[in-house]
Structure formats: structure tokens, C-alpha cells
Homo-oligomer: A and B are copies of this chain.
């Protein structure tokens, strides 16, 4: 007669609950809970009965309840400044591929390169009680730092290495990379090396600083051949900025672009205008996106292991969550990919 064991019921999602499964299997609720999380803690016999009941009823555990009871959400918050940028897409791919099999879910947010948005998002994310947080770069405000520290959640700052990690830090030194590329161009014999950048987020700024330091070391004017724009990166912008800078300084023989998109745009423009690359003008970029090796001439660039950086970032978090103690800071390194555009 009592088909409905649920008694009161003012509310309720109507979904099958742990109690339903327990009733069906003729055991206590907690036993079902254990059978699902630590099967070895439950006798073979009960486990089978429970598994059957779970399947028959189509039970899906309620994460919110689980989170509330155990204060473990299995959620990792990821805050990126852009999603359409291939660099972050690859990073995200690596992060997800590492988290997913470990049973963690990825909650994503886009700050659009705005510090203000980033702070709001962090607030929003903290409300979710994430088990871990991944943020981009090392330039959060002091207030944000405090907020994050108080949250008491493992954090990885990714993409870029800094002196004072909030907690853990995975990335590369964009300053060192900017220097390395400039040095390389010098070694190749170029003497009038320009720098072209767009959007100029913190990482681009540090690449530029690397360029300027290298120029200074060689006794060159660090500002003369620099042209930056606050606009967003695009192929067209690369072409336009190159045109401007070269028109102003005809002696320029090499251009270091703050990313591959700009550099490729410049190469395409050279193709159209019949400028020989690298004979008349050497060109190099940053990131080593897939097209860098495909275009003609192929593009010299700084290669960074984006996907692996993502995996490493996530792994740091997992290590901490599983009680292992790893390094606080990991330099995943970069390398100069020497290709046709700077032969």
C-alpha cells in the first residue's frame, strides 16, 4: 500500500535519491553511499544488490548534496582572459584532459583581459566552493590575493612565472623569452630589429621588456623601433603595423612580433607586396601556433608547450588535492623555433 516511501514532500526534485536506492536494495543509505565511493568497503553481496538497484532506478547522485555534506565539490575553477585565443584553448584542453579522468569538473570563466571582471569572477567562483582554482598570470591586485588566500583553496597561477607565487605557479618567463628571441636575431646578423605588439597584456609587456633589455645590452636604442597597439591582435593589424613601422624606419631588417598572428599577417602582406622574407625583412613571432610551421616561408617563433603546460597546471592541483607535496613553481620552458622567416 505504501508505494511512496517518501513521507512529507513539500518539495523535492522528484529525482531518485540515495534513500530510494537503499530501500530498494534493502540496506541503509550510508551503505549505498560507500558502495559508490569505496566499493571495497562493502561486501560483495551487498555491492551487487546495490549496483543493481542503482541501475534499475537510474540513480544519479546529487552533487550539491554531496558538496554540502562533505565540503568537496570536485570543481576546479578556471579563469582565463580570453577563450577564443588559441593559446588559451590549448591550455584549457590540457587542463581538462588532466582533470576529467580524475573526476574533477571544470568551471570556466572569461575575464576579457579585464582586472575588474577578473575580481568579480573570482568572487563568483569562490561561491561555488571550488576544490581548486586556476588563474592566468601573476598580476592580480593585492585585494584579490588576500581574497584568494583567505579562501584556503589550492591555486595555480599559470602561463607565466613570477617571483611571489600566490600558491603554486606554472609557466614560462616571458621576459626571458623576449630576450632570447632578440638575442637570436642578433646572432643571425640582424642589426636593426624592431618590435611590434598588440593588446599588450602583461605577458606581451614582459616580452617587450625582454626585447628592450637585449637591445640595451647591445648598445641599441630600445625604443626607436618599437610599435605597439592596444587593439586586439589580428592578422590585418600585423600587416598594418608592419607597414607603418617600416615606412618610418626603412633600415629595419628584422621584426619581432609579440605573437604569431601579427607575424603571419605581416608575412602575408609581404607576399602581396613582393617583399622578400627573410632576405629583405626577417620576421618572427611568438607561441608557435600550428600555422607557424605551415606558412611559406615558415615562421620563426618562440615555442611554448601550451597543452603540456595545461596538464602540468592541473596536475599540480591534483597532487595537492591528493595530499602529495610537489614543487611550488614549475618552469615548463620555451624554445626558439628557427624557421625560414629568419634564415
Report the nearest B residue to A11, measured CB to CB: B71
Q: How far is the CA of A65 from the CA of B128 in the complex (A)?
A: 10
Could you tell me if B68 and A64 are in contact, using CB atoms closer than 8 angstroms? yes
A60-B123, A86-B84 known; A96 and B109 CB under 8 Å? yes
The reply to whether B294 and A235 form a contact with Cβ atoms under 8 Å apart is: yes
Question: Contact check: which of B65, B71, B73, B106 meets A108 at CB < 8 Å?
Answer: B106
Decide if A251 is an interface residue (CB 8 Å cutoff). Answer: no
CB 8 Å contact bits of A274-309 with B (1 = contact, 0 = none):
000000000000000011011110000000000100
Bound form: Cα–Cα A307–B107 in Å: 20
The interface-forming segment of A171-179, A216-224, A241-249, A264-272 is A264-272
> Known: A84-B86, A105-B124, A110-B93. Contact between A290 and B234, CB under 8 A?
yes
Q: A239 vs B60: C-alpha distance in the bound complex, in angstroms?
A: 47
Kindly list chain B residues whose C-beta atoms are within 8 Å of the C-beta of A84: 86, 89-90, 93, 307
> In the complex, what distance in Å separates the CA atom of A82 from the CA atom of B89?
10
What DSSP secondary structure best describes chain A's contact surface?
Answer: helix
A31 interface hit (Cβ, 8 Å): no
Instruction: Report the interface size class on chain A.
Output: 35 or more
Closest Cβ of chain B: how far from A70's Cβ, in Å? 9
Q: Does A326 interact with chain B (Cβ within 8 Å)?
A: no
The listed residue (B61, B107, B109, B268) touching A295 by CB distance below 8 A is: B268
Q: Return A234 CB to nearest CB of chain B, in Å.
A: 7
**In the complex, which residues of chain B have a beta carbon less than 8 angstroms from the beta carbon of A68?**
62, 64-65, 68
Highest count of chain B CB atoms <10 Å: which of A62, A234, A236, A307: A62
Closest CB in chain B relative to A188 CB, distance in Å: 22
Q: A60-B126, A86-B84, A296-B268 are in contact. Are A71 and B13 (CB under 8 A)?
A: yes
Decide if B128 touches A63 in the complex (CB within 8 Å): yes
With A and B bound together, what is the CA distance between A109 and B108 in angstroms? 10
Q: How far is the CA of A110 from the CA of B261 in the complex (A)?
A: 26
Residues in chain B near residue A96, CB distance under 8 A: 83, 108-110
Complex: A61 Cα to B129 Cα, angstroms: 9
Q: Is B89 in contact with A86, judged by CB distance below 8 angstroms?
A: yes
Q: Which residues of B contact A230 (CB under 8 A)?
A: none
Interface of A toward B, CB cutoff 8 Å: 11, 13, 58, 60-65, 67-68, 71, 73, 75, 82-86, 89-90, 92-93, 96-97, 100, 105-110, 121, 123-124, 126-129, 150, 234-236, 239, 261, 264-265, 268, 271-272, 290-291, 293-296, 307
